[in-house]
Amino acid sequence: MSMADLLLDRHNPDVLTCIANLSNDEVFTPPEMAGAMLDLVAEAWAKDHDGANLWANPNVRVLDPVVKTGVFLREATRRFNEGLASVIPDPQERVNHILTQQIYGIAITELTALMARRSVYCSKRADGEHSICTVFDTPDGNIWFERTEHTWTGGTRESRVDPLTGDEIFIYTGRKCSYCGAGENDYGRGDDLETHAYAFIHTDDIKQRINEIFGAAMHFDIVIGNPPYQLSDGGFGKSAAPIYHEFVEQAKALDPRYLTMIIPSRWFSGGKGLDDFRDAMLNDDRLRSITDYLNASDVFAGIGLKGGVCYFLWNRDNRGECTVTTHFKDHDPSVATRPLLETGADTFIRFNQGVTILRKVLSAEPDPDFASLVSARKPFGLTTTFQGKSKPSGDDSVLVYQNGGTGYAERKAVPAGEHLIDCWKIFIGRAAPGTGNRDTYPHRIVSTPFLGRPGEISSETYLCIGPFDSESQAQSALSYLRCRFTRFLILLHKASQDTTRKVYSFVPQQSWDRAWTDEELYTKYGLTDEEIAFIESVVRPMEDD
């Protein structure tokens, strides 16, 4: 056995299963997950090429544009080494060909570049004496990294006095990167620290940039990777903006035959910076497969990533419906081939079982209208940080439900929501209750709603649902919100802890003349025993709080 074959052979334990993640946003992909994604591409290749073996093709090129440990490139190299054995019989010639002509990467930091070269070439220098490739003449090989700087724009120009010279100088504050939106206060660093300005998305012409990086006109058949998920955007506190969609869009611009990446599942419902991306993905019939994990820790052990993760397969030359595979708790994976957008829905329905339930609801209630009762953010114009007085100052005071308890404010000082002040209503927290670092099921989906009486308002901490004409109507709606059925419909549109008005889009209004129960709702919409059992496996009774 040659040195190349020996080093490509499997070892137990695999060192890449033992490396700690850099952070919650830059997580290392387990080898098993990388293998599953590569196998998905190989299956699609075989279907598109009359059963041909992807790994037996010496002309296929693979790019990981966000290299971390190098696991995707290593696993692809291993598969090519096996598949090309009869095409290029000499082991060393075969490995040299694979690593110089088929395997390419762009590292996200200097550290990950060194790590990836060690994983793929078995040497941190591609041209080192221990490298399994004997023909590289540069230390980088085909795993490239160079420091990239952010392009700061916008901000505020401010005058300062130089403390050493006393001269007036001008600086800019609050600037952001025009490519990734990173805040200068967080990422405007010295030369000793990583910039986290990822080369793959800091360019206006990715094809030209790729050709510059690798020194030749390049086209890749497969783009695969696990991009960074978010960066601080310079907003209040720990405000961060997603960036993983930037990598997906840039990868599509390279026009590969196949694209597969593992990303947070929060894009299903859009949100901060993701609405256009969601619309583009859900209206793209080249998105042929989504494998979704409701609990991110099932993929990335110990990572507190709310909303789960998924990996997808985008097939440039093969259009059709999408095969959706959902991994949930200890259940067998649920698999269904279906449209990405259901009629009457503007978001992806994550649960295959939820599709049939939603169809029944929409056929009975084609225009769900409960969301019209739900306020926008700041229903009374008061921010989350608002703190009312400890005691009422007179007959004109109103009770304020606020962060941490209650307070009082003068009616004339309430900026908005005047029509809601003197009616019956329901308050419900904007943020759903936390479940530690995991998306555990069953859970409540929303925070516990409670009755709001005339003369009571809230800060931005809560949404307001109403108005209702009487206490009995408000109590009826309150019973409806406590039903598992209702909260399951909310879940179908909810991708994070934030429960804004839009997550109620699938919830129909009812007649507010009774105390609603799940049994009545299950019967009204004709749910089967299997559908009822699924709802009750993901939604916890509100009484358990």
d(CA 477, CA 454): 16
In a domain, 12, yes or no: yes
Rg (CA), the chain: 27
Q: What stretch of H or E contains 208?
A: helix 206-214
At 42, list the tokens: 């190989």
- Look at residue 34 in the predicted model and tell me its pLDDT: 96
Q: How many domains does the chain divide into?
A: 3
State whether 100 and 166 are in the same domain: no
State whether 253 and 170 are in the same domain: no
Cβ count within 10 A of residue 536: 16
Domain end residue (candidates: 212, 233, 261)? 261
- Look at residue 186 in the predicted model and tell me its pLDDT: 85
Is residue 85 within 8 A of residue 45, CB to CB? The reply is: no
Q: Max alpha carbon distance in the chain (Å)?
A: 92
- Look at residue 530 in the predicted model and tell me its pLDDT: 94
State whether 189 and 256 are in the same domain: no
State whether 93 and 175 are in the same domain: no
Higher pLDDT, 47 or 367: 47
Mean pLDDT value of segment 490-502: 81
- Look at residue 436 in the predicted model and tell me its pLDDT: 43
- Look at residue 270 in the predicted model and tell me its pLDDT: 76
- Look at residue 437 in the predicted model and tell me its pLDDT: 42
In a domain, 293, yes or no: no
Range in 158-172, 373-387, 390-404 with the lowest mean pLDDT: 158-172
Higher pLDDT, 476 or 12: 476
Find, among 102, 62, 54, 11, the residue nearest to 225 by Cα.
Answer: 62
Mean pLDDT value of segment 276-286: 94
Residue 260 pLDDT exceeds 50: yes
DSSP letter for each residue of 402-431: ETTEEEEEEGGG--S-HHHHTSEEEEEESB
State whether 104 and 185 are in the same domain: no
Average pLDDT over all residues of the chain: 89
Which tens digit of pLDDT belongs to each residue from 158-212?
Answer: 887 778 787 878 778 889 999 998 888 888 877 778 888 999 999 999 999 999 9
In a domain, 267, yes or no: no
- Look at residue 14 in the predicted model and tell me its pLDDT: 55
Higher pLDDT, 436 or 286: 286
In a domain, 304, yes or no: no
State whether 246 and 369 are in the same domain: no
- Look at residue 499 in the predicted model and tell me its pLDDT: 81
- Look at residue 294 in the predicted model and tell me its pLDDT: 86
Domain that holds residue 190: 149-197
Is residue 490 within 8 A of residue 503, CB to CB? The reply is: yes
State whether 375 and 255 are in the same domain: no
In a domain, 238, yes or no: yes
Which tens digit of pLDDT belongs to each residue from 106-117?
Answer: 999 999 999 999
Place 6 in a pLDDT band, splitting at 50, 70 and 90.
very low
Q: What is the pTM of this model?
A: 0.83
Residue 17 pLDDT exceeds 80: no
Mean pLDDT value of segment 425-448: 77
Residue 9 pLDDT exceeds 60: no
State whether 107 and 172 are in the same domain: no
State whether 527 and 503 are in the same domain: yes
Phi, psi of 188 (to 5 degrees): -80, 80
Range in 148-157, 189-198, 227-236, 241-250 with the lowest mean pLDDT: 227-236
At 127, list the tokens: 């041209």
Residue 21 pLDDT exceeds 60: no
Which tens digit of pLDDT belongs to each residue from 323-369?
Answer: 999 998 778 899 999 999 888 777 889 889 899 999 999 999 877 78
In a domain, 335, yes or no: no
Residue 155 pLDDT exceeds 50: yes
In a domain, 328, yes or no: no
Is residue 439 within 8 A of residue 295, CB to CB? The reply is: yes
Among all chains, which residue has been given the structure tokens 């225009």? 367
Is residue 291 within 8 A of residue 307, CB to CB? The reply is: no
State whether 447 and 380 are in the same domain: yes
- Look at residue 2 in the predicted model and tell me its pLDDT: 53
State whether 527 and 433 are in the same domain: yes
Is residue 150 within 8 A of residue 182, CB to CB? The reply is: yes
Is residue 35 within 8 A of residue 308, CB to CB? The reply is: no
Residue 216 pLDDT exceeds 60: yes
State whether 82 and 210 are in the same domain: yes
Place 295 in a pLDDT band, splitting at 50, 70 and 90.
confident
d(CA 103, CA 64): 8
In a domain, 281, yes or no: no
Looking up residue 246, the CATH number of its domain turns out to be 3.40.50
